[in-house]
Amino acid sequence: MEAFFASLAGLVGPEHVLTGDAAAGYAVDWTGRFRGSAAAVVRPRDTGEVAAVLALCSAAGVAVVPQGGNTGLVGGGVPLHGEVVLSLARLDDLAPVDREAVQVTAGAGVTLQRVADAAPDLDLGIQIASRESATVGGAVATNAGGVRVLRYGPMRAQLRGIEAVLSDGTVVSHLAGLTKDNTGYDYPSLLAGSEGTLAVITKARLRLVPRLRDNVTALMGLDDLPSLHALARKALVAVPGLVSAEFFTSAGLSVLQSHADLAPPLPASSPVYLLLDAAGPGALDDLAELIDDLPAAVGESAADRRRLWSYRERHPEAAGFLGVPLKLDVSVPAAHWVELASSVASVVADADPGARVITFGHVADGNVHVNIVPGAPADGRHEDAVFSFVASLGGSISAEHGIGALKAPWLHLARSEGERALFARIRGALDPPGTLNPHVLPR
């Protein structure tokens, strides 16, 4: 290995090949559930260095895990089997905004927040709570979703072009940003959601959206999930400026109140909460009509809106205050959302009566985040219970985080044998030696 490390150092500079303690932080995920150890962490500066590193690793038969901001929640970006970590953090060049195309080209290591801040009157359609750390490369690789999917779609829908490197070092680039361009296979779209298994993304061309004005945020307390879901569905039709429809419950809120110092959002507590965010002329009136006489808080100023959003955006942290969480993100058709959101905690309890469960998520997308702090050993029983339940409702075992290492054993619940065989053929064609993320998604 010493000769191999020396070759890596020759490609990127010795200060950008980390081993031992210097590499340890790259080997554990945000939740603390996935811990591995890296043979080495390599930090290239540009596409050429990425290509050279990948060619070297493939020739040496060394597996590589691409890593961006390391905020992924399914164990896909950490070296669980002693792989080399390829950190894209130093690919952080952000080109000037192309105002004619209303697009920007960003290096894989640029954070989502930097893209959102690139121009005062423009914004990135994607907003996720991890945006200060999550990178463009990671968000494309996971096809990240977040709180504005109902308005702008997921990361794939923001993608107008890509530059990527195959495992043999071949660079493929399609960054002109044409809106209409039917010249063969749409491989940028294929790489969105590929979780680092097909190629390493080095740049992305992203569409920007007009920065919203006259934003209003409303947080309502409701008695039960059926009423909450009905109100969110009504908002989809009755509020033309709707941007987000999010939910959480008193279970997560009480944890945040006691551990994160959040004051109660409303004078009286409710079992479940719906957060609606809308923008543009008429948004305030439309939301007021919907709220009617429900207990609610409405924010129009940036400070008030930030305060109301903090109750929802801090929910990913809540289970972590109770222990090391298992984070499952599932979705079902709208007709089954109430059944999923109402019953999933008891489904987990049947498998592990001592488990703590916190649910929250993107109600308009049919997406529930099920955060579990196990009481019994985390030996797959929790995933088995939740994913089987979701499959019985015609849903997906990953709404937005991807399959990673966490869900690989359950992919068969969501994809047929024929589909999985097709995945394997695509993978074999793009990465014949199996260098890239070999333990993410079953091969």
Ligand X SMILES: Cc1cc2nc3c(=O)[nH]c(=O)nc-3n(C[C@H](O)[C@H](O)[C@H](O)COP(=O)(O)OP(=O)(O)OC[C@H]3O[C@@H](n4cnc5c(N)ncnc54)[C@H](O)[C@@H]3O)c2cc1C
Residue 239 CB, shortest distance to ligand X, in Å, is 21
Find out whether 205 and 110 touch, Cβ atoms under 8 Å. Answer: no
Q: 197, 206, 79: which is closest to 142 by C-alpha? A: 197
Judged by CB under 6 A, the stretch of 135-143, 168-176, 232-240, 298-306 that binds ligand X is 135-143
C-alpha distance from residue 27 to each of 35, 154, 197, 365, 369 (Å): 6, 27, 18, 32, 24
* Binding residues among 191-210 for ligand X as defined by CB under 6 A: 195-196, 200-201
Distance CA 108, CA 69 (A): 10
**Interface pick for ligand X out of 47, 58, 67, 158 (rule CB under 6 A):** 67
Place of tokens 């290591």: 109
Q: What is the dihedral of CA 278, 279, 282, 285, to 10 degrees?
A: 30
**Interface pick for ligand X out of 47, 54, 55, 76 (rule CB under 6 A):** 76
Q: Which is nearer to ligand X, 295 or 438 (CB)?
A: 438
> CA end-to-end span of the chain, whole Å?
26
**Interface pick for ligand X out of 110, 134, 256, 397 (rule CB under 6 A):** 134
- Residues with Cβ within 8 Å of 306's Cβ and at least 6 positions away in sequence, in order, are 299
Residue 204 CB, shortest distance to ligand X, in Å, is 9
Interface mask toward ligand X for 21-50; x: CB under 6 A: ---------x--------------------
Q: Is 68 an interacting residue with respect to ligand X (CB under 6 A)?
A: yes
- Residues with Cβ within 8 Å of 425's Cβ and at least 6 positions away in sequence, in order, are none
Q: How far is CA 440 from the centre of its chain?
A: 15
* Binding residues among 93-112 for ligand X as defined by CB under 6 A: 108
Find out whether 322 and 251 touch, Cβ atoms under 8 Å. Answer: no
Q: Is 89 an interacting residue with respect to ligand X (CB under 6 A)?
A: no
Which tokens hold the place of 212? 């919203």
Interface mask toward ligand X for 346-385; x: CB under 6 A: ----------------------------------------
Query: Shortest Cβ contact with ligand X: which residue?
Result: 138
* Footprint of ligand X (CB under 6 A): 30, 65-73, 76-77, 88, 108, 128-130, 134-135, 137-139, 141-142, 144-146, 195-196, 200-201, 316, 400-401, 404, 437, 440
